[in-house]
Chain A
Amino acid sequence: MTIDESRLDSIIDEYNAEQGSLISILQDVQAEYKYLPREALEYVAGRLDIPRVQVFGVATFFKAFSLKPKGRRQIHVCMGTACHVRGSKKVLEEFERKLGIEAGSTTKDGEYTLETVNCVGACALGPVVMNNEKYHGQMTPIKVEDLLKKV
């Protein structure tokens, strides 16, 4: 894909092109594209003057990054301990059944990405599911269908 170099430059310059800011820079790049396009990674490596292998290493080491495009709607099922003891696994399995995909993947139409998250810190509401930025608390398998219907 073609990337907007001037946009990348402005992100990189915000961090003075510091090598130590690689993770923050990649976060911002991902916020722009919703994933990390290969071309953008190569460009960042060049600008920060670090080997591509290091940039790729960081991009694949940290969970926050994705090398594949994400769906328009991102469903995050919290699998923190508080949610686990309140049955988050059953909720996740219902999402997997309803969407026909496994956690960590995107539906073929590019609409949904289903992911797990270690803890969102809203333990009082567990099990918690995040639909894009919105929290849904006290989730149960039977609430899954309604949540998916909501736009």
Chain B
Amino acid sequence: MKLKSGKELEAFRKKILAKKNPDKPCITVCGGPGCLARQCLEVRDAFVNEISSRGLADKVDIRTTGCHGYCEMGPIALVFPEGIFYQKLNVKDVGEIVEETIVNNRIVKRLLYSDETGRQVKIEKEIPFYKKQMRLLLSSNSKIDPHIFEDYLAIGGYTALAKVLTGMKPTEVLEEVKKSGLRGRGGGGFPTGRKWESTRDAKGDIKYVICNADEGDPGAFMDRSILEGNPHSVLEGMIIGAYAMGSNEGYVYVRNEYPLALKNVTIAIKQAREAGLLGENILGSGFGFDVKVNRGGGAFVCGESTALMASLEGKPGEPRAKYIHTSEKGLWDRPSNLNNVETWANVPLIINNGQGWFAGIGTESSKGTKVFSLVGKIKNTGLVEVPMGMTLREIIFDIGGGIPDGKAFKAVQTGGPSGGCIPESLIDMPVDYEQLTNAGSMMGSGGMIVMDEDTCMVDLARYFTNFLQGESCGKCTPCREGLLRMGEILTGITEGRGRMEDLSLIEDLSGVLKDASLCGLGTTAANPVISTMKYFRDEYVAHIRDRKCPAGVCRELITYGIDAGSCTGCGQCLKNCPSGAIEGEKKKPHVLDTAKCIKCGICYDVCKFDAVRKE
């Protein structure tokens, strides 16, 4: 059915809402990346079977949704209308939930979340992980099935588009976005309205609007979760942007490793086309816009705008120098505007609630909320959405629950491979674009990797350098050769071949990378190294001068041994040692032959008595 005007859209929405009974029980199963990996679909299928075998199919809805954020507790299901939060579900729990909660209206207490004091919590927003969040973008995920168009309309979807097309001039839309203070959520943090303006003002009849869904930062899955869970919100933002810029053609460039995001956005585009929200003469406004989906090929550098556009043209994803901006000459040499998934998803919110509302959230320079993927050595792994300006401490300790296993917090890495490591001394820093940059890191797309005392910062610098070296396209020499040499130096330090003069050599190389590289991959590549050298210089010195890895990570600098006093002779280390380096009789202290030891660390991991020691 094609909706030919704003009024028809509203009438259709009313019809959908009239059919919905808010009191009808609905079991919402999270189908986000974390829950999927924990076999949530088996749980969902079990619900479907249980409900239908009890003849309740007409009385209970079952909905599979996008990510709810709290990956640590997956698989998660919410039971509406109350919104009871059940966690860590198993197929075996399903019968009990249906019997108790659906049929008898009782709570299955053992499946509730309980906090550290043992207090059980029934509703999502009362759980500490959710309490301090401001989930403007992510909260919709649990309310809709991303495959059902009507679900998006039921939560007010496409009202912003109708508002724009029926009552706002393109310049008014542009002004609204400019005044809101929205900045790009993909890395650079460039003001979105200004970016749009330069594309709109660029000469040319054909202009492109592109959504960057090639989320390449390791440890980041915000965009994936938005695109999988609420693809129409991204499309709606893109259509509004296209209207403001005078573009009729768009692309969504999806990371190859995200098949579900690809599937969901493809379905959403088809639905929007059928409803007349994409294509010619949208809602009778005379404005037309359509979107194509392209898949990435697994190249990190394609997050860079010119590389992404080269790849959209069917060429290798190599960046070019930006003497002329892509807003003037981008895809096929035509004016092109690129924003990432999260940026686009913010646009309908700004239009619906007004720029003043949006600009009222956040800090002086950074407005709105930001989604972070809180991962690594953290109790509550997951996606968190907070207003800009919240401190790292609040995010990591109040929301994230702090560091597991009683270990000490060491640093948090933000901004992906182009970002830096922020030490404990700066943990009360409010998070916004400027603060992170001043600390030697960056916002990036929102990865937040927490590290504890067992993380070696030199090893981490080496990790990022090697990652970027592998992903460097090789077009410019500073990046191609600079990262290779940087990696060699860092590997040398982690393997006990470091020299004190390496530190100044690294600083020199970093300067060259920053000044002379062609694109953002190279110019920011030294950030992880420079920031760790700034805040954790003593660790570098310990590796070089003392030939020690204080965190016990760098293999060449540690030796394993068995403490005879603690060893019970259980034989676990001996059984699992791949190199036959451990000997000993049952129930007698074992001995490790360092000459045969390959330092794989398996004995250390399997020993239950802390008898294997690292030095």
Contacts and interface: CB of A to CB of B under 8 A. Distances in A.
Interface string A90-123: 1001100100000000000000000001111111
Interface string B490-508: 0000000000000000000
B399 to A, nearest CB: 14
B294 A24 contact: yes
Contacts of A121: 33, 220-221, 224, 257-258
Interface stretch (B157-165, B171-179, B375-383): B375-383
Interface string B364-381: 000000000101110001
Interface string B297-317: 111100000000001111111
A61 B376 CA distance: 30
Interface in A1-49: 18-24, 26-27, 48
Interface string B201-232: 00000000000000011111100100000000
B440 interface: no
Contacts of A79: 218, 467
A82 B219 contact: yes
B116 interface: no
B455 interface: yes
B449 interface: yes
Contact of A23 (B220, B296, B377, B600): B296
Residue among B300, B375, B376 facing the most chain A CB atoms (10 A cut-off)? B375
Contact of A62 (B217, B299, B381): B299
B317 A62 contact: yes
Contacts of B455: 85
B581 to A, nearest CB: 13
Given A141-B602, A142-B576, A135 B297 contact: no
B33 A84 contact: no
Interface string B250-266: 00000011100000000
A73 interface: no
B502 to A, nearest CB: 22
A85 B34 contact: no
A23 B314 contact: yes
Contacts of B318: 61
A74 interface: no
A150 B62 CA distance: 32
Contact of B298 (A63, A81, A82, A86): A63
B72 A22 contact: no
Contacts of B295: 23-24, 27
A86 B605 CA distance: 12
Interface of A is mostly: helix
A140 B317 contact: no
Contacts of A123: 34, 71, 219, 221, 373, 375-376, 381
Interface size class of B (residues with CB under 8 A): 35 or more
B346 to A, nearest CB: 21
A37 B315 CA distance: 19
Contacts of A93: 600
A75 interface: no
Nearest to B258: A121
A119 B578 contact: no
A137 interface: yes
A57 B297 contact: no
Given A64-B256, A141-B605, A119 B37 contact: no
A61 to B, nearest CB: 4
B486 interface: no
A122 B35 CA distance: 8
A94 B606 CA distance: 14
A148 interface: no
A124 B257 contact: no
Interface in B53-75: 71-72, 74
A147 interface: no
Nearest to B39: A135
B460 A97 contact: no
Residue among A24, A65, A137, A142 facing the most chain B CB atoms (10 A cut-off)? A24
Contact of A21 (B314, B373, B464, B605): B314
A54 interface: yes
B50 to A, nearest CB: 24
A90 B600 contact: yes
A68 to B, nearest CB: 16
A36 B315 CA distance: 17
Contacts of B217: 119
B187 interface: no
Contacts of A63: 297-299
Nearest to A141: B602
B84 interface: no
A124 B600 contact: no
21 contacts: A18-B314, A19-B313, A21-B294, A23-B311, A27-B295, A48-B314, A61-B318, A62-B299, A82-B219, A82-B375, A82-B376, A97-B578, A119-B217, A120-B257, A122-B36, A123-B71, A123-B221, A124-B382, A135-B36, A140-B605, A141-B602
Given A21-B314, A81-B447, 4 more contacts: A61-B299, A81-B219, A81-B463, A121-B221
Complex A-B, nearest 5 residue pairs according to Cβ-Cβ distance, in ascending order = A62-B297, A22-B314, A121-B221, A124-B71, A80-B218
